[in-house]
Amino acid sequence: MVRVGLLTSGGDCQALNAAMRGVVKGLSNNIKDLEVYGFFNGYKGLIYSDYRLLTSTDFSGILTKGGTILGSSRCPFKEMRTPDENGLDKVEAMKSNYYKLNLDCLVILGGNGTQKTANLLREEGLNIIHLPKTIDNDIFGTDMTFGFYSAIDVACDAIDRIHTTAASHNRVFIVEVMGHKVGWLTLYSGIASGADIILLPEIPYEEKYIIDAIEKRNQAGKGFTVIAVAEGAISKKESKLSKKELAKKRAKETHPSAAYRIAKLVEEKTGSEARVTVPGHTQRGGSPCPYDRALCTRLGSAAAKAIIEGKFGNMVGIIDGETKLVPLEKVAGKLKVVDPDSKMIKEAKYMGISFGDEDV
Q: Domain for residue 256, yes or no?
A: yes
Q: Does any domain span residue 359?
A: no
Look at residue 344 and tell me if it is in a domain.
no
Q: What is the pTM of this model?
A: 0.94
Domain end, chosen from 249, 268, 283, is at: 283
Query: In the prediction, which pLDDT does 250 show?
Result: 87
Q: Is 307 found in the same domain as 190?
A: no
Domain with 269, as residue range(s), is 151-283
184 with 299, same domain: the answer is no
Quick one: pLDDT at residue 290? Answer: 97
DSSP string, 40-53: TTTHHHHHTT-EEE
Position 177 scores a pLDDT of 97
- In the residue annotation, 136 being an active-site residue is answered as yes
Q: What angle do CA 305, 311, 315 make, to 5 degrees?
A: 85
Instruction: Given the residues 12, 58, 136, 357, select the one marked as catalytic.
Output: 136
Q: CB pairs under 8 A, 24+ apart, for 325-329?
A: 326/141, 326/142, 328/115, 328/118, 328/119, 328/122, 328/128, 328/130, 329/119, 329/122, 329/123
Residues 223 and 184 in one domain: yes
Burial of 263 (0-12, 13-18, 19+ CB in 10 A): buried
Chunked in runs of 10, what are the mean pLDDT values of the chain (360 residues)? Answer: 96 93 96 96 97 94 94 90 93 97 98 96 98 96 97 96 85 94 97 97 96 92 93 94 89 88 93 92 94 97 98 98 97 96 97 92
On whether residue 131 sits in a domain, the answer given is: yes
| DSSP-based helix, strand, coil % in the chain, nearest 5 | 40, 20, 40
Which of 225, 248, 283 is at the close of a domain?
283
- Considering its fold, how many domains does the chain have in total? 2
Identify whether 68 is part of a domain: yes
Length of the chain: 360
Q: Indicate whether 205 and 250 sit together in one domain.
A: yes
Whether 110 and 159 share a structural domain: no
pLDDT score recorded for residue 74: 87
pLDDT of residue 11: 87
Pair 185, 248 in one domain? yes
Does residue 275 share a domain with residue 293? no
User: Phi/psi of residue 53, each to 5°?
Assistant: -75, 125
Per-residue pLDDT, 251: 86
Task: Examine residue 341 and state whether it is found in any structural domain, yes or no.
Answer: no
Same domain as 132, residue 20:
yes
Question: Hey, is 138 helix, strand or coil?
Answer: coil
